[in-house]
Each structure stands twice: as structure tokens, then as C-alpha cells.
Amino acid sequence: MTISIEKTVSWRDIASVAAGENFVLSEAAQQRIAEARRIVEGLVESGVRAYGITTGVGALSDTVVDRAAQSRLSRNIVLSHACGVGPLLSAREVRAVIAAQIANFAHGHSGVRPEVIRYLTLFLNEDYIPDVPSKGSAGYLTHNAHTALVLIGEGHATVKGDRLTGREALAAIGLQPLELVAKEGLSLVNGTACATGLSSLALSRAENLLDWADTIAALTLEAAGCQMTAFDEAVLALRSSAGIAKVGAKLRDRLAGSSIIAAAVGRRTQDALSLRSIPHAHGAAWDVFDVTGRIVDQELASVTDNPAVAGTPEDPLVWSEAHAVAPALGQAADSLAIAIAQIAAMSERRIDRLVNPLVSGLPPFLASDAGSHSGFMIAQYTAAALVNDNRRLAAPAATDGGLTSALQEDFLAHPTAAANKLLSILDNAEYILAIELMAAVQAQDFLCDTLSPASGTKIVRDLVRSRVARYDDDRPLSCDMEALRQLIATTTPPDSPSD
């Protein structure tokens, strides 16, 4: 499959490219890019004062740069802005950023040459991954600059598994370093491509994780002998929420025909909230997910370069604006981070209900020989530690503020930091849900000796048991956690047989 840019793309398109799909530009998009370049050339010819084209950048925006120095300005912007630190972004994350950057240029208001787009597209299609440090962007500049470094033969990149210098990496795919011209350096470090690309990837991961969260919760509900009346369609319809209705329908479908559930009818007046309010918490996360997706799509449909060019080569226009600032994007990523952190925290509470002999009605800590075996005792500790980590990460980045560039940039929205935090919370949440899945299946191992599970949960249990065996304190439990985390991260839950 190849993703083609006509007018705009969606976050799902960006996530598909991040996962390995190729990227191409339609003829119309190529024409828009070429026309924008001609407009920039018209601005250079006219000598009009234009931010980052005929002036410096940031606090140097009133310093005029003569025509002879404009190419040097572009190169120097890239070199001076490549200030990232810390671990490198993953290949999927870098691909997402590059794809979002190409999509931004394709609107036809940036003015980079088609040759620049050709190089960036080849990076995606030739498995060419620039080294991009994960930390250092108050907004977007450092991440984008590290991507741009390899265009000019600097920095490093990995090509088909081999890490090379920028110049060597270009040669490996048949390219020479580019000499940047007016505005290209600024456009390459500018815009919200970094936060938008990372948010697109986070949305893809969050959608899969939420689907697994609903599925795993169903296994726990069954093992706990939940009171299903709380999830009746008419009951849930009393609270208006598309997310609640969605989760309720999935739980009813997944648990249909369970003799374990049937045997528990009337056992309690009502279940604990970590069980009874699954549609409410998971449904809220699905609702936030939908809103976040719309905001990321809105970002991809927007021009986020500053300045933006328009008009014609004969009558060029340049607009200095603040479209590279993305408060909505940062707030959306913060909101989804909070939602995922809450889902993971609820999952840890359900883990405790499965392993805690005071409330579970199951062998203590799901151990096959309580006393000589500890079972899942410390796995719950691990989940609790990750929940605490998420609580710290869930503090909103959008309220951090900060002052940069000698007061010229005296408001910062931090969308990239918000996206990075969201990705970290997703990492932790995958492990927490893996532990719940592991515990829920172990609980079912005890129950299914005498009662029959729902077909919708049995198919999940069988899948898990094809990856990890029943736990008898006979091996390091972390290996099972890794195996099930990988299952959650890379696959979708199996459909109920009734689907």
C-alpha cells in the first residue's frame, strides 16, 4: 500500500507511513510545491523584508541578510538548531515526523524546492532513518533540525540497518548533499511536523491499546464474577456518551454465554468501581481519543510554516504569523495522556482484585501452591510502580510556559513534550495491561476446571496460552510480561466468535 497526498492526509495516513508504508505526492501537490518555490524566488528578487528569507530568525528577525548570504543562512539555521539530546527517537517515530513534514510542505505555502521533498520522500521509501534525539524541543525546532542535518550531509542516519554519516547515508541511496537556498533552512526546522507526527503515531498505538483494554477488562470481569446488569444497554443509555455505549456493547458481546458469569448472578448487590465503571472510564478515554484524532487531523490540514507565502511569482506575498505554535495539539496530547494514564491506573486496581485473597475468592496471588509460591504478588507491585510513573508523566505540558529567544518567543505551548509524554505513558500502559491479561488468564485457569468461559474470552485465553504457559513460579515472570506486552503492542485482539 502507498499513501498519496492529494490535498491533505489524516493521522491514520501518517501512522501507516510510520509503520512502513510508502509515501508519494500527487501531481497537484507537486505543482503546489513548485509554485510556492517560485513565489519565494520572487520575494528574493524583490528584496522585500521577509522573516527568515531576507532576515535572521527569532530575536534576529529585524536583522537584514543580503542575497549573497541567504544560502549560508539556511545552512546555518539547520546547524545551529540541531541541539537535541538524549535517546534517539525510534524509526517509526522519525518516519512519522518526516511524513508530517512532507504533508505540511505539500500545502504549497512553504517554498522549499521540489528537490527537498524528493529527498525526504526517498528517506521514507528507502528505509533511511536520520538520528533524531528525543529531547530538546520546546516547540519543534531541534527535532526538525536533526532530520534536516542529513539533507546537507551532516549528522548520522541508519540505512537498512547500517548507521552511517549523513554524507555516507545519502550516497547509499544514490544522493548528494543538498545546498540549501533561501527559506529552506527555516522551513525545514519550522512547523509542527514533529508533534503532529508523534501524535499521529500515539493515536495509532492508543487505539490499539484501548481495544485491548476493553478486551482484557472483559476477562477480569468474568474471573471476578461480575454483575452484568450494570452493563445492560438500557442502563448505560441513561448516561449519554458514545464511548460508554461502545464499551458496554463490547463487554456484552465478549461475555455472552459465560457460565462463570451466570453462576455469579446475585452474588453481590454491586461490584467495586474498578469493575462496575469500566464503561465509564474506558468510554471516556474513547471519547477523548476521538477528539484528539480530530485535532491532529485539523493540524495536518493546516499550514504550520512561518512565514507562509502566497500570491504569484510576479506579485509575491509573505505573511509572518504564529501558525507554528500549536496549543490545541499540546492540549489534545495532554488530554489523551491523562485518559490513558487513568485506564492504566484502573487496570492496576483490577490486578489487585485478582491477586488479593481478601476480595478475589481465588487462590492467594493466583499461586498454584500459596506459601511456597508467590505467584503474581510482585507483578502487582510492578504495575503499581508504572502507574505512579504515569501519574508523574500525566502532568500537563501545555501549562509549562517558558521564555526563549531574548523574549521574542515568550509563550511556549510544548506540543512535542506533550506527545513524547503520551508515548511514554503508552509504553507503561502496555506493560500494565499485559500484567492484567496475564493475571486474568491465570484466574480463568482455576475457574475453568468447573465452569465454562464465554467464547469471546476463551479465544483470548487460548491466544495467551499459545504465547505463555501457566505460571508456577518456575521461571522469571518478566519474560511473560514482555511476551504479552509485545502481543498487545503489535496485534489487535481476536474477535469474539459471534462477530
Closest by CA to 481, choosing from 492, 491, 467, is 467
- Domain assignment present for residue 499? The answer is no
- Whether 419 and 447 map to the same domain: the answer is yes
Q: What distance in Å separates the CA atoms of residue 180 and residue 497, rounded to the nearest whole number?
A: 57
Facing residues of 317 across strands? Answer: 310
Which residue range forms the structural domain that includes residue 406? 203-304+323-490
Residue 480, φ and ψ in degrees, nearest 5: -65, -40
Would the pLDDT of 402 be above 90? no
Tell me the pLDDT tens digit for each residue of 216-259.
999 999 999 999 999 999 999 999 999 999 999 999 999 999 99
Question: Residue 448 belongs to a domain with what CATH number?
Answer: 1.20.200.10
What is the β-pairing status of strands 22-25 and 2-5?
parallel
The confidence band for 450, taking pLDDT boundaries of 50, 70 and 90, is: confident
Tell me the pLDDT tens digit for each residue of 159-218.
989 999 999 999 999 999 999 998 899 999 989 999 999 999 999 999 999 999 999 999
Last-in-domain residue among 158, 190, 222: 190
Would the pLDDT of 50 be above 90? no
Residue 113, φ and ψ in degrees, nearest 5: -70, 150
Would the pLDDT of 57 be above 60? yes
- Domain assignment present for residue 498? The answer is no
Would the pLDDT of 498 be above 90? no
Q: What is the average pLDDT across 351-373? A: 87
Would the pLDDT of 135 be above 60? yes
Q: What is the average pLDDT across 126-146? A: 89
For residue 49, what pLDDT is reported?
78
- Domain assignment present for residue 318? The answer is no
Tell me the pLDDT tens digit for each residue of 413-449.
789 999 999 999 999 999 999 999 999 999 999 988 8
Supply 415's cell numbers: 506540543
Would the pLDDT of 41 be above 80? yes
The confidence band for 56, taking pLDDT boundaries of 50, 70 and 90, is: low
For residue 39, what pLDDT is reported?
92
The confidence band for 405, taking pLDDT boundaries of 50, 70 and 90, is: low
- Whether 221 and 272 map to the same domain: the answer is yes
The confidence band for 287, taking pLDDT boundaries of 50, 70 and 90, is: very high
Supply 344's cell numbers: 492504566
The confidence band for 456, taking pLDDT boundaries of 50, 70 and 90, is: very high
Q: What is the average pLDDT across 394-414? A: 74
Secondary structure tally for the chain: helices H, strands E? 20, 9
Closest by CA to 400, choosing from 342, 339, 330, is 330
Residue 337, φ and ψ in degrees, nearest 5: -60, -45
For residue 172, what pLDDT is reported?
96
Q: How large a percentage of the chain has pLDDT more than 70?
A: 95
Distances (CA, A) of 339 to 146, 306, 320, 399: 31, 32, 36, 17
Number of domains in the chain: 2
Q: How large a percentage of the chain has pLDDT more than 90?
A: 75
- Domain assignment present for residue 195? The answer is no
Helix (H) or strand (E) holding 163: strand 162-165
Torsional class of 482: left (φ above 0), alpha (ψ -120 to 50), beta (otherwise):
alpha
- Whether 169 and 242 map to the same domain: the answer is no
Three-class DSSP category at 318: strand
Q: What distance in Å separates the CA atoms of residue 48 and residue 206, rounded to the nearest whole number?
A: 46
Would the pLDDT of 410 be above 70? no
- Domain assignment present for residue 110? The answer is yes
For residue 177, what pLDDT is reported?
97
- Whether 289 and 242 map to the same domain: the answer is yes
For residue 400, what pLDDT is reported?
78
For residue 366, what pLDDT is reported?
84
- Whether 129 and 186 map to the same domain: the answer is yes
Q: What distance in Å separates the CA atoms of residue 397 and residue 414, rounded to the nearest whole number?
A: 6
Neighbours of 466 (CB within 10 A): 9
- Check: CB of residue 279 under 8 Å from CB of residue 244: yes
- Whether 213 and 178 map to the same domain: the answer is no
- Whether 148 and 210 map to the same domain: the answer is no
Question: Residue 28 belongs to a domain with what CATH number?
Answer: 1.10.275.10
Would the pLDDT of 381 be above 70? yes
Last-in-domain residue among 163, 190, 217: 190
Q: Which residues form the catalytic set?
A: 51
- Whether 375 and 400 map to the same domain: the answer is yes
Q: What is the average pLDDT across 72-97? A: 93
Instruction: Name the average pLDDT for the chain.
Output: 92
Last-in-domain residue among 190, 223, 239: 190
- Domain assignment present for residue 197? The answer is no
- Domain assignment present for residue 468? The answer is yes
- Whether 220 and 128 map to the same domain: the answer is no
- Domain assignment present for residue 495? The answer is no
- Whether 136 and 209 map to the same domain: the answer is no
- Whether 91 and 225 map to the same domain: the answer is no
Would the pLDDT of 308 be above 80? yes
Residue reference for cell 512502513: 20
Tell me the pLDDT tens digit for each residue of 109-128.
999 999 999 999 999 999 99
For residue 382, what pLDDT is reported?
96
For residue 497, what pLDDT is reported?
86
Tell me the pLDDT tens digit for each residue of 327-354.
999 999 999 999 999 999 999 999 999 9
- Whether 284 and 145 map to the same domain: the answer is no
